[in-house]
């Protein structure tokens, strides 16, 4: 084997972007392409044309290698719906839910999303692949870890004994954007250039963490009342609001660990946003938090191994089906 | 005295509308006018011209009677800012904070808003007048009552011994509108005509009330996951969301009365929205809730009495300064 022989084409096809990876032995990234063609922005809604554009050359050169995609492309709004697989789920279970279909440019396999059943169920799609990627890159996390994927819809996932045991979604990023753009809370900052202010951010975090039973819609309003009473500068209101929302997310998660005994915490995602979460967690006494970026290719590789689409000596050691 | 002799012009000048009342003896309403000229919609932002248009004829006929306005017209974004008065506040204290100025069409007095001091302060402006109106109309509420003013920014106020003792703001209505118009939660109902569904509404209320420590941004996401998993119809998602948000408001207020012993609860506001709150409260076991509408004129009259602008034999019995 050598680096010149690709083994898998992996696609991370989400709401806002489409990324393609040509992966070699052990999932090593050989080439990367990306387009701003998330499923809501695919030109003409023509997924097949977008797919051909991205992988056509790769497939022409290496027609034999499998193609695997994860993310919202497998949702009801995507190309084909890959039904959810239920939690707890390990790589084998997720691989068992792959949806394969002929694209006109070879066969494509789509990774299913995850469903947590219950009276109030929850769903994810795309994040499961990033999480398995983190487990593949840092095998010790598989035993027990808390993974945080901040974003529009932040996900918190508990890993235990090689499986994604459970998870929860928080609409933190979407709420922040809505309030900033459209609400009365965002008005001061729309009229004045916002300033960076770690102090205002941590004030928001602390107010959320220290809050009693008042409703979140009441707590949010403090971004208005503190401004109106001269205790918060217009330019700092967004930082405070961001702190309130992230603090509310942390408050909820912390309450699941009343004894303060956390498994290792890992942030998955883009640097600046992860830093914000790291600062907020430090305020709660959670230190030594790892940050991992770009774990989707490793996750796609891990699922391909579990599905038998590729063989990988080194990653075989990560197989977790023995735990099921 | 007879009905033909007006005593006070009262204005309820809020964010979205301007209402004028010609009040006679004991605050009896003789004439009403209204314009869609809330402070955000006043033509040309010319408050003086809007004022002349509304009260010009009244003032020409009865130049001697005082004019009193409440609401956002006294805010920083309004005509002149009437500084907040601090809670607890009785009618005399609020009357002591009136801001008087010459308009070019006679003198106008503006009612101050209320401020609740604290690490997380809160403010209201306009609602204090509606609340005093409710106290004037139903004197027995003054001793102890919980008043709820549902809306864009819902207010809950505790009356005790003739004073507005404390209050809290919940951004429930604004959050609902934002989520409906702009968020992923509103998408199903934007693509399909929403249906009325008391069941979906109460399901949302119950899910909010029964919720554990999970964050609100997590609970909101159940409007998405229940829809995606087929357990909530697209046409009912807004009803469910409305129930979640109102239920969250109730959950927070209920937690302040752990023994379930409530003072009398009164809803102030528009009928359909009050019905929604009444249904939600019934779900919490709070029954026998009074609903009062259009209490602003009675509140303006009550403040005018306290300020000595008008005399009123029958309302003199309501004066509560003896409790201070």
- Candidates B78, B176, B173, B178; CA nearest to B125 is B78
B216 and B254 in a single domain? The answer is yes
DSSP-assigned letter for residue A104: S
With an 8 Å Cβ cutoff, are B171 and A218 in contact? yes
A89 and A203 in a single domain? The answer is no
Predicted model pTM: 0.88
pLDDT in tens, B106-116: 999 999 999 99
B87 and B187 in a single domain? The answer is no
* Band of residue A260 on the pLDDT scale cut at 50, 70, 90: confident
| A254-273: average pLDDT | 88
8 A C-beta contact, residue B31 and residue B11: no
- Domains contained in chain A, number: 2
Residue B153, chain A, CB below 8 Å: the answer is yes
A226 and A302 in a single domain? The answer is no
The percentage of chain B sitting over the pLDDT mark of 70, rounded to a whole number, equals: 94
* Structural domain of B83: 8-138+296-323
Q: Does residue A90 sit within a domain?
A: yes
Could you tell me which chain B residue has the CA closest to the CA of A254? B213
Residue A205, chain B, CB below 8 Å: the answer is no
| B259-264: average pLDDT | 85
Of residues A179, A217, A225, nearest to B249 (C-beta): A217
Write out residues 106-125 of A within 8 Å (CB-CB) of B: 115, 119-123
- SS3 of A110, please? strand
In angstroms, the CA B134 to CA B137 distance is 5
Q: Does residue A144 sit within a domain?
A: no
Q: Does residue A186 sit within a domain?
A: yes
pLDDT in tens, B97-137: 999 999 999 999 999 999 999 988 999 999 999 999 999 99
Q: Does residue A43 sit within a domain?
A: yes
pLDDT in tens, A70-83: 999 999 999 999 99
The percentage of chain B sitting over the pLDDT mark of 90, rounded to a whole number, equals: 82
8 A C-beta contact, residue A148 and residue A162: no
φ, ψ for residue A116 (rounded to 5)? -100, 115
The percentage of chain A sitting over the pLDDT mark of 70, rounded to a whole number, equals: 94
Selection from A20-34, A197-211, B201-215, B282-296 with the highest mean pLDDT = A20-34
CATH classification of the domain holding A197: 3.30.420.310
Torsion of CA A308, A310, A314, A320, to 10 degrees: -30
In angstroms, the CA A95 to CA A81 distance is 15
pLDDT in tens, B215-245: 778 889 999 999 999 999 999 999 999 999 9
Q: Which chain A residues are within 8 Å of B183, Cβ to Cβ? A: 171, 174-175, 178
With an 8 Å Cβ cutoff, are A216 and B174 in contact? no
DSSP-assigned letter for residue A90: -
Return the pLDDT at A297.
Answer: 98
Beta strands in A105-259 (DSSP E): 107-110, 114-116, 122-124, 144-149, 154-160, 163-170
A209 and A124 in a single domain? The answer is no
In angstroms, the CA A245 to CA A216 distance is 9
* Band of residue A61 on the pLDDT scale cut at 50, 70, 90: very high
In angstroms, the CA A214 to CA B172 distance is 13
With an 8 Å Cβ cutoff, are A248 and B215 in contact? yes
C-beta neighbour count of A1 within 10 angstroms: 9
A244 and A309 in a single domain? The answer is no
| B254-263: average pLDDT | 83
A64 and A130 in a single domain? The answer is yes
In angstroms, the CA A27 to CA B270 distance is 62
Q: Does residue A183 sit within a domain?
A: yes
In angstroms, the CA A231 to CA B36 distance is 33
B19 and B71 in a single domain? The answer is yes
With an 8 Å Cβ cutoff, are B122 and A217 in contact? no
B118 and B236 in a single domain? The answer is no
Return the pLDDT at A104.
Answer: 93
Q: Does residue B51 sit within a domain?
A: yes
A111 and A182 in a single domain? The answer is no
Return the pLDDT at A4.
Answer: 67
Q: Does residue B161 sit within a domain?
A: no
φ, ψ for residue B20 (rounded to 5)? -120, 140
Inform me whether the pLDDT recorded for B18 exceeds 70. yes
What stretch of H or E contains B61?
helix B47-61
Return the pLDDT at A315.
Answer: 45
Q: Does residue A264 sit within a domain?
A: yes
B15 and B122 in a single domain? The answer is yes
Q: Which chain A residues are within 8 Å of B224, Cβ to Cβ? A: 123
Return the pLDDT at B213.
Answer: 66
pLDDT in tens, A150-168: 999 999 999 999 999 999 9
With an 8 Å Cβ cutoff, are A219 and B184 in contact? no
A22 and A125 in a single domain? The answer is yes
């Amino acid at each position: 084997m050598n680096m010149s022989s690709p083994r898998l084409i992996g696609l991370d096809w989400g709401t806002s972007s489409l990324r393609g990876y040509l992966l070699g032995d052990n999932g090593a990234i050989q080439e990367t392409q990306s387009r701003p063609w998330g499923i809501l922005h695919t030109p003409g809604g023509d997924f097949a044309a977008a797919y051909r554009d991205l992988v056509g050359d790769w497939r022409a050169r290496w027609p034999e290698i499998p193609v695997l995609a994860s993310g919202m492309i497998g949702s009801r709004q995507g190309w084909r719906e890959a039904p959810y697989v239920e939690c707890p789920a390990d790589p084998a279970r997720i691989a068992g839910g792959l949806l394969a279909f002929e694209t006109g440019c070879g066969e494509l396999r789509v990774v299913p999303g995850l469903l947590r059943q219950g009276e109030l169920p929850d769903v994810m799609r795309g994040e499961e692949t990033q999480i398995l990627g983190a487990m593949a890159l840092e095998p010790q996390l598989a035993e027990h870890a808390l993974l945080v994927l901040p974003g529009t819809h932040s996900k918190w996932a508990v890993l235990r004994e090689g499986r994604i045991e459970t998870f929860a979604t928080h609409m933190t990023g979407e709420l922040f954007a809505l309030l900033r753009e459209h609400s009365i809370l965002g008005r001061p900052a729309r009229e004045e250039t916002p300033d960076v202010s770690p102090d205002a951010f941590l004030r928001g975090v602390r107010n959320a963490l220290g809050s009693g039973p008042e409703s979140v819609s009441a707590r949010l309003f403090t971004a208005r009342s503190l401004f109106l009473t001269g205790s918060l500068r217009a330019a700092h209101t967004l930082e405070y609001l961001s702190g309130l929302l992230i603090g509310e997310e942390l408050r909820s998660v912390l309450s699941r660990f009343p004894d303060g005994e956390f498994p290792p915490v890992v942030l998955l995602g883009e640097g600046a946003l992860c830093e914000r979460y790291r600062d907020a967690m430090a305020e709660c006494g959670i230190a030594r938090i790892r940050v991992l970026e770009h774990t989707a290719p490793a996750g796609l590789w891990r699922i391909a191994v579990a599905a038998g689409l590729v063989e990988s000596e080194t990653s075989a050691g990560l197989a977790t089906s023995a735990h099921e």
